[in-house]
Structure 1
Amino acid sequence: MKRKSLILLLTGVMACSSWSLAQQKRGLLLKDATIVDGDAFMKPRKGSLLIKDGVIAGVFIGNDQLPKEVDSVVDCKGKYITPGLIDGHVHLATGDLSDRKKAMDGIEKVLANMLRHGITTVRDMAGDAVTLAAYKRASEWQQIPAPAIFYAAQFAGPSYFEMVKRPGDINGNALLGATPWYCSITDTTNIELAIAAAKGAGVSGIKVYADLSAAQILAITKAAHAQGIQVWSHAAVFPAKPSAVAKAGVNSMSHSNDLIFEQLAGDTIEIGNAWEQVYKGLKADWAKQDKLLLEMKANGTFLDATVFHAENNKMVNAVLITARAHQLGVKIVAGTDWIYPEENAPVPLLDELLVLAKKCGMSNSEVLQSVTLNNARVTGLQDRGAVKKGLRADLLLIDGDPLKDLSFLFSPSLVMKAGKIYKY
């Protein structure tokens, strides 16, 4: 898309060309596929799907009678249908945005490559909300090839924002920490008002990031949930320990490796000393880790493991803790927190899934759930992540069984997002 056209599209009416066959009166039939659901307890089954008005209007299994009149039929014999994939941890708008044309060109290429590889939704874990809101709307209106975008406001203490200020920030140094989406929290902050402002900026969640106390995390979580907003936290918020984050009842905790900081002495932790202990070879104390993980399980807190990120940074505890979390029944979500290529190139979400499968004791069906149903739920979405009647038609048509080889997920012949078809 040309740069100057994006703003015009955001205020206009969706072009007729963006409507697909699936949105015509009688619908589109995806016929005779093997359906592999996002729910790991659902066994694969042979069947057909009727897609109408952007949703799954019917699921027909076995001898169920198929609709006699439809607008179009796609023969899916020998192929597999799965839910669209969701990356639960991306950052689309945290880079240098001072050159808007260059930045937007890069973002659009990344989004297009995500969709090409089967990613139909992303959870953005904090960035420039002005940019993210524009692309969220363009994606919703099917004006550009892009996943659906849900994004967070970053809440942190003032010392964090002072530390990360740098020349070239799109909002200027004076505003970093002073916007609804980059919000500095102090003991005198009106938390309810700060969350309402973030909600007004279009966020779906609050990212609890750094330099916050246990009491502040609890207050943010309670206020956000009261306003219908998710809370997505780092596992260690410094000086708050992971147990304080888990007890607050946040929706997800990011970075399995950081759960190791729970083992450090004292009620609070200091970031320099914490990482020094890791570099010295701090090993998991499973009595302490199990207590923390069971607290997360009891509160329904998802673990945003980011194990591929950890493996690339030699954080050896990440896969061990993720494997133990899975054994104890903590729900895992698949997110990369990694750089995505701008061109048609492999995406890091496959790498994340392969680490979960090969090193964390998860079956391919459980991994598929982590990247579909679990990611939908942690984002606060009930309308996607599975193949069921009434859910949004975010679907992949792939050539091989993903329960045997996860890589099939990332080379779909057809991607459907809200009923619109993209063929590759």
Structure 2
Amino acid sequence: MHRRLRSATPLLTALLVALCASAAFATDKEAKPSPADALTLYAGATIIDGTGAPAQPDQDILVRGERIVAVGPHGSLAEAKGATVKTVDLHGRYVIPGLIDSHVHIATPPNPKRAQAILRRNLYAGVTAVRDMADDLRSVGELAREARTGEIPSPDIYYAVVMAGPEFFADPRVAAASYGVKPGTSPWMQSIDGKTDLREAVTLARGTSATALKVYADLPPELVKAITAEAHRQHMMVWAHSAVFPTRPADVIDAGVDVVSHACYQAYQLEPVMLKAYEDHTPVHEDLLAKNGDDPVMAGLYRDMLKHGTILDATGSLFVQYDAERKAHPDRRPLRCTGPTTIRLVRQAWQAGVPISAGTDSDPDFKHVWPSVYDEIFFLTHDVGMPPLQAIRSATLIGAEAAGQAKDMGSIEAGKLANFAVLTADPLKDIGNLRSIRMTVKRGHAYPRADYRQVTKEEMGDDDD
């Protein structure tokens, strides 16, 4: 224990540097928490509440400070009739819960200007929370603090500590996210083997203020199970790749992890001989899937997910988009799955009733106007076949559950945070109407879309990549 703490001590210097770094774009005057006693009535909107229930027209939302006090038919909320209540007329508008991207990477390597530009862009497009899945937590922790206090306009950030086998830590991404520390020895990226004191390892992880552990790669089933049990004992969630290599998807699920990422990786369950290491990027043998209809092996996997309550962070749009890019650049190495196979796997999971969140694992250049979570929502509707109502639920309530935050966000309900987006067109008629956003409300504070401006090349300076 003392040896591990001494090895982490030099990190304090780097952490203090990160804490003192000036935040780009933090001068937005609107990025302030709402007064705790301020009352605002959002009146007359059609509400799509995120639970999957039908849209409710002509509804009022009463907000005090950062939370929703009440929701009800227009004019029915008695507390909304006081003289001090500010009213925002939303007749003819549509309100959905704030969107949640359940798979982002904002600091590998750390670049605060770029991260803040992307986070700001996402907030003004209706994204009120993200789940960061493995990064330099010295940077992510500070971004999360700034987002939570309103120092920067940003979704709230919930993040993970990585645990993986020793072989994984030769990955150059680890060095980029652990600069100044021997890879595998930092509290936020830990090398785990059979000799590791898991109680100490999870305690160190908790010290980063992470929400969860991410079980990443190169771990056998018994260690995946032991890590999960210890994390849950210490009240941390466990997020994992669908296949951890050499651990098969079925063993990852049976270990009791809370969320698995990448629907594609689930097809490794069909392999006669499982890949021994994450570093072996041999694609799944797609011809092993049933030629017609649902695959029976996948059906068994999805039954296990339902039994354990496991959420699928599908990241499907990533694979579909990469397929399209390879048509223009056929020399690029293929991913582990093609787009059509990924679509097939996610569709079968959804039809089996598996809860699916909207995670992206990619983000367009900060110069793009819209966030990549829109692409994942469009994937779920246009490719997988989800009705828009269910796709919105995936990007809101299921995303909140994946981040362990469903008590406070993910749906428009009394007692939850006032996190929602106001649209001028009905997203249930066309999910593309997400782009009709006129305002994001996060923790009770309004961010009008009209106030959004893209970051300039001059502001980015040398960080313009």
Compute the TM-score of the two structures, normalised by the length of structure 1: 0.90
Look up the match of 1:270.
276
Structure 2 residue corresponding to 1:352, chosen from 358, 376, 384: 376
**Equivalent residue number for residue 69 of structure 2:** 57
Deviation for aligned residue 1:375: 0.5
Aligned to 1:364: 388
CA gap 1:71/1:24 in 2 versus in 1, 3 angstroms: farther
Moved over 6 A (4+): 14-17
Does the C-alpha gap of structure 1 residues 111 and 65 become closer, same or farther in structure 2, counting only changes over 3 Å? closer
Which of 294-303 and 353-362 deviates more? 353-362
What letter matches 1:385 in structure 2? G
Compared CA separation, residues 5 and 124, structure 1 to 2 (3 A): closer
44, 55, 72: which one aligns with 2:86: 72
1:4-403 map, 5 Å: 7=20, 18-19=31-32, 23=35, 25-62=37-74, 64-66=76-78, 67-69=80-82, 70-95=84-109, 97=110, 103-164=111-172, 170-172=178-180, 175-266=182-273, 268-271=274-277, 275-276=281-282, 278=284, 281-285=286-290, 286-314=295-323, 315=338, 316-343=340-367, 345-381=369-405, 382-403=407-428
Contact 1:121 1:148 in 2 (8 A): yes
Deviation at residue 273 of structure 1 after TM alignment: 11
What's the secondary structure of 2:348's corresponding residue?
A: helix
8 Å contact from structure 2 (residues 263, 312) kept in 1: yes
Taking a change above 3 Å as real, the CA distance of residues 165 and 420 of structure 1, as seen in their structure-2 partners, is closer
Q: Quick check: 1:25–1:71 contact (8 Å CA) kept in 2? A: no
Question: Is contact 1:125–1:207 with CA below 8 Å preserved after alignment?
Answer: yes
Matched letter for residue 267 of structure 2: I
Q: Deviations over 1:256-283 (max 9, x none)?
A: 11111000114x43358975453x6434
Which amino acid in 2 is paired with 1:60? G
Question: For the Cα contact (< 8 Å) 2:103–2:361, is it kept in 1?
Answer: yes
> Relative to 1, partners in 2 of residues 1:274 and 1:44: Cα closer, same or farther, differing over 3 Å?
farther
1:166-214 deviation digits (Å, cap 9, x = unpaired):
7765523x52211111010010111121111111101101111100010
Partner of 1:100: none
Unmatched 5+ stretches in structure 1: 98-102
How big is each residue's C-alpha offset from its partner over 1:334-384, in whole Å with a ceiling of 9 and x where there is no partner? 000012332351222111111111121211011000000001011111100
Whether the 8 Å contact between 1:113 and 1:341 is mirrored in structure 2 is: no
* Change over 3 Å in CA distance of 1:342–1:6 after alignment to 2: farther
Judge conservation of contact 2:101–2:130 (CA < 8 Å) in 1: yes
Unmatched 5+ stretches in structure 2: 1-16, 324-337, 450-465
Paired residues of 2:98 and 2:126 also in contact (CA < 8 A): yes
Q: Partners in 2 of 1:15 and 1:355 — Cα distance?
A: 33
Q: How many residues align?
A: 408
Give me the whole-angstrom Cα distance separating, in 2, the residues matched to 1:5 and 1:183.
21
CA RMSD of aligned residues (A): 2.4
Is the 1:261–1:274 Cα contact (8 Å) retained in structure 2? no
C-alpha change, 1:74 and 1:276, in structure 2 (3 Å) is: same
Change (3 A) 1:308 1:168: closer
Q: Deviations over 1:222-260 (max 9, x none)?
A: 111111111110011111110110111111111111111
Worse overlay, 161-170 or 82-91: 161-170
1:417 equivalent in structure 2? 442
Q: SS of the residue aligned with 1:86?
A: strand
Q: Partners in 2 of 1:192 and 1:177 — Cα distance?
A: 17
Cα pair distance change 1:40/1:19, threshold 3 Å: same
Q: Distance in 1 between matches of 2:354 and 2:289?
A: 17
